[in-house]
């Protein structure tokens, strides 16, 4: 098990954090801040590939020229690759943060080569009790994304759960082993994934929609290390070598030393290293919260087709 930082939720730390409610933050391009700035065709393609979204409206140049936009646009969830909105407003060093949900309001499409800026406001800190780690806090924020014309592209409310790692590990709420799929199960999963439906250029008209009808499903998984790597490349990015070391020095609780190699690693490895996840009170590595939200966003964009516009998206 990895020796990651084990911060405590103290009254003093909570009070300091509460004093910051209402303040604004413009994420930087370092650490876990802003990643993409421009919606270039390369950035859009890397993002779409990283979430497994083969919709040609995002990446097929000829398809984009034939669309009502006259060019490719980015999927709405591309904004996660600009800045991962999850209430990540700092505070409580060494206390784990779990992305817990988002509520999106989209105002206009993300057009090719838009230059995107984001500003985040810390909006809330609510205390709760949980079986997972006892005393926890739900930390929330609202991020506003704008294009180069200062037009609002979207607003996103994000929240995360802050839980003490030692308390979660000692309670041990989650006990499970990795599931092993049978050949028959994998064949069914792969067939469903290959038969994913894109509405595309075929318009879906208002009068053709019935409240309560089911959307054609999309299939993700079983989650592989390759799936995680592709997502990080397209959506989150990272820091390496001296650039990473400087961030670890600025934020000591972000890093830990690998027991075998002695190298510094980031705590975000809870998403690909089992021992790091166990230290945070989880039985094994797990997917990113914003990754799961990107999958959710793919469902309505597949269903509505090129002429539709996604206005709201909520998941928790």
Among candidate residues 128, 100, 146, 156, the one with its CA nearest the CA of residue 14: 128
pLDDT > 70? residue 31: no
161: three-class secondary structure by DSSP: strand
- Please report, for the chain, how many H helices and E strands are present, in that order: 11, 10
Residue 239, domain extent? 11-179+219-309
Has residue 204 been placed in a domain? no
Q: What is the CATH number of the domain that holds 121?
A: 3.10.129.10
Has residue 191 been placed in a domain? no
Has residue 36 been placed in a domain? yes
> Which pLDDT score is estimated for 258?
86
Has residue 1 been placed in a domain? no
pLDDT tier at 30 (50, 70, 90 boundaries)?
Answer: low
Cα 108 from Cα 111, distance rounded (Å): 9
Cα 280 from Cα 284, distance rounded (Å): 10
122: three-class secondary structure by DSSP: strand
Cα 4 from Cα 279, distance rounded (Å): 7
Q: Which residues contact 262 (CB under 8 A, 6 or more apart)?
A: none
Has residue 203 been placed in a domain? no
Tens of pLDDT, residue by residue over 73-123, are 999 999 999 999 988 888 899 999 999 999 999 999 999 999 999 999 999
Has residue 41 been placed in a domain? yes
Tell me how many domains the chain contains: 1
Tens of pLDDT, residue by residue over 161-215, are 999 999 999 999 988 888 999 999 999 999 999 999 999 999 999 999 999 999 9
Cα 140 from Cα 162, distance rounded (Å): 11
Tens of pLDDT, residue by residue over 223-264, are 999 999 999 999 999 889 998 899 889 888 888 888 888 899
**Mean pLDDT across the chain:** 93
pLDDT > 70? residue 11: yes
At residue 19, φ and ψ (nearest 5 deg) are -65, -20
Has residue 185 been placed in a domain? no
Has residue 122 been placed in a domain? yes
């Amino acid at each position: 098990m990895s020796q990651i930082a084990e911060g405590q939720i103290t009254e003093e730390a909570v009070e300091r954090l509460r004093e910051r409610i209402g303040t604004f933050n413009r994420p930087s391009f370092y650490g876990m801040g802003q990643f993409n700035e421009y919606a270039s065709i390369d950035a859009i393609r890397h993002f779409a590939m990283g979430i497994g979204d083969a919709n040609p409206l995002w990446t097929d140049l000829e398809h984009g020229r034939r669309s009502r936009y006259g060019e490719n646009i980015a999927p709405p969830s591309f904004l996660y690759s600009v800045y991962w909105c999850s209430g990540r407003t700092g505070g409580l060093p060494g206390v784990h943060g779990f992305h817990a949900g988002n509520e999106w309001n989209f105002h206009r499409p993300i057009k090719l080569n838009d230059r995107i800026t984001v500003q985040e406001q810390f909006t809330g800190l609510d205390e709760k009790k949980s079986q997972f780690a006892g005393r926890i806090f739900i930390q929330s924020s609202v991020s506003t994304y704008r294009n180069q014309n200062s037009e609002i592209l979207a607003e996103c409310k994000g929240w995360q759960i802050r839980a003490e790692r030692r308390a979660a590990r000692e309670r041990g709420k989650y006990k499970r082993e990795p599931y092993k799929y049978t050949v028959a199960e994998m064949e069914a999963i792969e067939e469903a994934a290959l038969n994913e439906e894109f509405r595309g250029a075929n318009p879906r008209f208002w009068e053709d929609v019935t409240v309560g009808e089911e959307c054609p499903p999309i299939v993700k998984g079983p989650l592989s290390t390759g799936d995680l790597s592709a997502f990080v490349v397209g959506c989150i990015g990272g820091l390496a070598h001296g650039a990473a070391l400087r961030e670890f020095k600025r934020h000591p609780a972000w890093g830990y030393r690998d027991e075998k190699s002695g190298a510094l690693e980031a705590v975000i490895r809870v998403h690909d290293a089992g021992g790091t996840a166990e230290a945070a009170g989880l039985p094994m590595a797990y997917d990113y919260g914003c990754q799961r939200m990107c999958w959710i966003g793919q469902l309505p964009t597949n269903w509505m087709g090129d002429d539709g516009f996604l206005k709201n998206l909520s998941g928790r």
